[in-house]
């Protein structure tokens, strides 16, 4: 049984969210509500080519807004993407950012808005201690977020994950004012997401909820949000994967995604610690990598989380409300939505593991793991995840 946590915590909740099908029509009004006249719309190259972006920019211009587009964003955004976006924002004299897309596009956009008026290097604001206080709050530009995936929930988060290409490490850049001022959460914008990405992002939402639920510390609000988020994923992810036009399932998944990013202020854990080095070095999809790593970490954490998992299994109304029943259900769900079973299937090789274990042990998420995990423990979990041994 895990030791009880002291009744002490710092709790924060998300921003103004306009949720529902068709709400994208309110984008121009939302920009005006925030005071934007010359927004820079930041997205990824794939979305930049889709009609939804052209339609949005046309609607904004008809409303009298001078909007421009920036889309030089990698699937795992790097510092160079942020720096390029800042140059475009400054050159165009833009007064804020519309962050449009999945986790990569929104993370990059939030970092651009945050860094546009700063004089210190971005890495000076890594989520370490009180480093966020180094920022000049007056130099943070306002942002509006428009999610097109249901996974990271970056639209309701106060941080961005950016890869340092020099060290091949993912770093969390944090400031309370990085939270978008308004989120337009329109499930119709997620309808075109391919089944594979729907699965990977949906599992990411589940894992955010799950790791937050299991993380040490006293945060009953986050845990309550997390368990309901996991229920929504349980009942809707397979539906959304099988029928991409199921707007109801898409809507529930979008809510679950935002619930995950709200809940994980309590903490994340070794699923993310293992995933981040893989994504930084091999450029794998973040949610997919998390989904592959999940069962190996859950098994490792069993001594500390079994009681909570049994309680969760009852809440989720699993056929076997036990730790083993939960493990089997997650394995079955992964298989149903097409998640690979091993990290080897994502290109991870045995020769990667020593370096990956070192990086995982110092990842910002490692401290939230319910069982202390240093380099040997991370290596053990990597070995299991590469071979598929449970």
Domains, the chain, ordered by start: 23-185 (3.40.50.1970), 195-387 (1.20.1090.10)
Tens-digit pLDDT profile for residues 285-299: 999 999 999 999 999
Of 94, 105, 96, nearest to 33 by C-alpha is 96
Percent of the chain at pLDDT > 70 equals: 98
Q: Which of 237, 278, 242, 238 is nearest to 360 (CA)?
A: 278
Position 351 confidence tier, pLDDT thresholds 50, 70, 90? very high
Neighbouring residues of 86: CB distance < 8 A, sequence distance ≥ 6: 112, 115, 116
Band the pLDDT of 77: cuts 50, 70, 90: very high
Q: Report how far residue 221's alpha carbon sits from residue 261's, in angstroms, rounded to the nearest whole number.
A: 13
What pLDDT score does 8 carry? 76
Prediction pTM value: 0.93
Task: Kindly state the tokens that stand for 90.
Answer: 């400054």
265 neighbors 221 (Cβ within 8 angstroms): no
Q: Does the structure show a pLDDT above 60 at 1?
A: no
Contact 21, 191 (CB under 8 A): no
Nearest to residue 153, comparing CAs of 106, 120, 94, 211? 106
What is the pairing mode between strands 182-185 and 143-147?
parallel
If pLDDT is split at 50, 70 and 90, which confidence band does 11 have?
confident
CA distances for 289 relative to 74, 87, 334, 342, angstroms: 17, 32, 12, 9
Mean pLDDT of the chain: 95
Question: Above 60 in pLDDT, residue 378?
Answer: yes
From its phi and psi, is residue 117 left (phi > 0), alpha (psi between -120 and 50) or beta? alpha
Q: Are 173 and 114 in contact (CB under 8 A)?
A: yes
- Among the listed residues 288, 311, 100, the one whose alpha carbon sits nearest the alpha carbon of residue 214: 311
């Amino acid at each position: 049984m895990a030791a009880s946590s002291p009744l002490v915590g710092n709790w924060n909740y998300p921003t103004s969210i306009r949720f529902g099908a068709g709400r994208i029509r309110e984008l121009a009004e939302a920009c005006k509500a925030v005071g934007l006249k010359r927004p820079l719309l930041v997205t990824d190259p794939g979305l930049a080519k889709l009609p939804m972006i052209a339609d949005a920019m046309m609607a904004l211009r008809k409303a009298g807004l001078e909007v421009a587009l920036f889309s030089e964003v990698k699937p795992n955004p790097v510092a160079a993407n942020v720096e390029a976006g800042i140059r475009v924002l400054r050159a165009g004299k833009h007064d804020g950012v519309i962050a449009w897309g999945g986790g990569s596009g929104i993370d990059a956009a939030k970092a651009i808005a945050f860094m546009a008026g700063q004089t210190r290097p971005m890495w000076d604001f890594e989520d370490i201690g009180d480093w966020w206080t180094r920022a000049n709050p007056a130099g943070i530009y306002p942002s509006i977020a428009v999610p097109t995936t249901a996974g990271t929930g970056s639209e309701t988060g106060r941080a961005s994950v950016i890869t340092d290409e020099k060290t091949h490490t993912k770093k969390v850049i944090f400031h309370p004012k990085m939270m978008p001022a308004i989120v337009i959460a329109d499930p119709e914008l997620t309808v075109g997401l391919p089944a594979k990405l729907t699965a990977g992002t949906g599992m990411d939402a589940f894992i955010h909820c799950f790791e937050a639920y299991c993380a040490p510390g006293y945060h009953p609000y986050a845990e309550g949000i997390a368990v309901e988020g996991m229920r929504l994923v349980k009942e809707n992810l397979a539906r959304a994967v099988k029928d991409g036009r199921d707007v109801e399932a898409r809507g529930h998944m979008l809510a679950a995604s935002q619930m995950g990013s709200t809940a994980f202020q309590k903490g994340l854990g070794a699923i993310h610690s293992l995933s981040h080095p893989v994504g930084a070095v091999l450029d794998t999809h973040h949610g997919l990598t998390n989904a592959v790593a999940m069962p190996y970490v859950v098994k490792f954490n069993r001594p500390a989380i079994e009681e909570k998992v049994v309680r969760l299994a009852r809440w989720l109304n699993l056929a076997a409300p036990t730790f083993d029943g939960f493990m089997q259900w997650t394995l079955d769900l992964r298989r149903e939505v097409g998640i690979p079973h091993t990290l080897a299937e994502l290109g991870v090789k045995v020769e990667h593991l020593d370096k990956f274990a070192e990086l995982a042990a110092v990842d910002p998420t490692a401290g939230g793991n319910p069982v202390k995990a240093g380099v040997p423990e991370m290596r053990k979990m990597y070995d299991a995840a590469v071979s598929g041994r449970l």
